[in-house]
Amino acid sequence: MRVRRLMATAGVFGVLALTAHPAIAQDDKQIHSNSIRENAIAMKALPLDSPRFVYDSGLTFEYPDAVRGIYVTGNSAGGSRFDELLNLTESTDLNAMVIDIKDDWGNVTFEGDKDSPYAKIGKSYIKDPRAMLEKMEKKQVYPIARIVVFKDSLLPKEKPELSFQDGGKIWVNGRGEAFVNPFLKEVWDYNVGIAIEAAKLGFKEIQFDYVRFPEGFENRDNQLKYEMGEYKDMKEDNVQKRVHAVTDFVAYAREKLKPYGVKISVDIFGYTATMPEAPGIGQNFSKISENVDVISSMIYPSHWTSYFGIAKPDLEPYKLVREYAKVENKKLSELKNPPISRPWLQDFTASYLGSGNYRVYGKAEVEEQIKALYDSGIEEYLLWNAGNTYSPGVDYTPETE
């Protein structure tokens, strides 16, 4: 069994990050993304016996032999379902939970300190997050805090200038969801501050989701009104500016969170691994992968069109995942320090695809996806079910070819 231990991080920059939270020092807002690299170089130059400044939450979690996790909403984490899901991990080879800390609408899922800058957006979904984490520590269930970054319907109400606007109103997509602007450092700091709160609670990994511009942004780029911040005068087209903004945020967040000893993971669309970069949303698989500890591609078979020569991917979960893994393995092999691959798999039925285009997903379909990863040399994964109802009887650690 290989155990990857979370490494403590040394450096003077750690002190700065600790003292700067949660507002993140005002003068820091003038620092360009180049400063991140400069800080990293300065840290490498420190002698090995430099004092360590790493926040200690008081909780201890060992990194599992391989993370096999499930998604947990704030409501599930704070209600009776939590014990059921904890029992699921105890009775199977599952060993991790990805828990909503900032959800898809922008809510923080626990109330926290009344003096916190996030008190207004804190909900009482998880009434006692520390007690929840202590339960997880006792069972050694690895805790991952999910933070939805740039999809946020709350922050624009307070500060519309941080969002995209259309005709004087906050722009929303077809589902009524607003986004905040990845070009703006204030938006970065807002989300990094929430991540720091999660790390201080005792979470051992921060998973950033919706690290991107809205889907189809290339088609409304000129229609919407928004600021470009430091990227305005960059001598590149808007596609590259978006790629820089998304990648720079990930690098910035990783640097700011180093003093808290947490791993950084990012969710990313699976199709981004199949192209140089996604032009509208600003995701470049390789560039993001270079700045994280874990990359989690969302490779649900239901979310693909006829990629890899598979006409109806939802009907062929093993083949879809196996073909995707070939592409991802090649891309990661080209990186100097590739992250851990930990894809999101499908444990839900996509009936919305229509008759003849979907399968009812259960034990067999989940096992096919896991087996495809294992046969491709990928041993970590996460299961997604929006209602947190997971298929019973699944073999989560199959034999490989």
pLDDT digits (tens, 9 = 90+) for 294-329: 999 999 999 999 999 999 999 999 999 999 999 999
What's the pLDDT score for residue 36? 38
Helix, strand, or coil here: 1?
coil
C-alpha torsion angle, residues 161, 146, 75, 182 (rounded to 10): 10
What's the pLDDT score for residue 115? 86
What's the pLDDT score for residue 279? 86
How far is it, in rounded angstroms, from Cα 229 to Cα 17? 22
Q: Sorting pLDDT into bands at 50, 70 and 90, what band is 284? A: very high
Residue 396 C-beta-side C-alpha neighbours within 13 Å: 24
Instruction: Give, in order, the Cα–Cα distances in Å from 286 to each of 48, 52, 247, 294.
Output: 30, 31, 10, 12
Residue whose tokens read 């698989």? 285
What burial class does residue 116 get, using C-beta atoms within 10 Å of its C-beta: 0-12 exposed, 13-18 middle, 19+ buried? middle
**Who has greater pLDDT, 246 or 54?**
246
Residue 114 C-beta-side C-alpha neighbours within 13 Å: 0
What is the pTM assigned to this prediction?
A: 0.86
What's the pLDDT score for residue 112? 85
- Specify the amino acid at residue 183: F
- CA nearest neighbour of 386 among 283, 263, 298, 296: 298
- CA nearest neighbour of 370 among 390, 392, 331, 399: 399
Bridge-based pairing state of the strands 263-269 and 205-209: parallel
Asked whether residue 49 carries a pLDDT value surpassing 80, the answer given is no
Indicate if the alpha-carbon torsion angle 152, 157, 159, 165 is positive or negative: positive
- CA nearest neighbour of 164 among 210, 211, 213: 213
Helix, strand, or coil here: 19?
helix
> DSSP characters for 35-73?
HHHHHHHHHHTS-TTPPB-----S---PPPSS-EEEEE-
Residue whose tokens read 């839900």? 348
Asked whether residue 271 carries a pLDDT value surpassing 90, the answer given is yes
The DSSP letter of residue 176 is: S
Which two three-digit tokens encode residue 115?
Answer: 């003096």
Q: Sorting pLDDT into bands at 50, 70 and 90, what band is 399? A: confident
**Max CA distance (Å), the chain:** 64
329-333 LR contacts (CB < 8 Å, sep 24+): 329/376, 329/377, 329/378, 331/273, 331/285, 331/286, 331/289, 332/289, 332/295
Average pLDDT of the chain, as a whole number: 88
pLDDT digits (tens, 9 = 90+) for 348-392: 999 999 999 999 999 999 999 999 999 999 999 999 999 999 999
| Total Cβ atoms within 10 A of residue 297 | 23
How far is it, in rounded angstroms, from Cα 278 to Cα 283? 5
Asked whether residue 31 carries a pLDDT value surpassing 90, the answer given is no
Instruction: Please say whether the beta carbons of 373 and 362 come within 8 A.
Output: no
Helix, strand, or coil here: 380?
coil
How far is it, in rounded angstroms, from Cα 271 to Cα 285? 9
Which two three-digit tokens encode residue 319?
Answer: 């083949």
b (16+ CB within 10 A) / e for 7-36: eebbbebbeebeebbbebeeeeeebebeeb
Asked whether residue 7 carries a pLDDT value surpassing 70, the answer given is no
What's the pLDDT score for residue 1? 34
What's the pLDDT score for residue 114? 85
How far is it, in rounded angstroms, from Cα 203 to Cα 142? 8
Nearest-Å Rg of the Cα atoms of the chain is 21
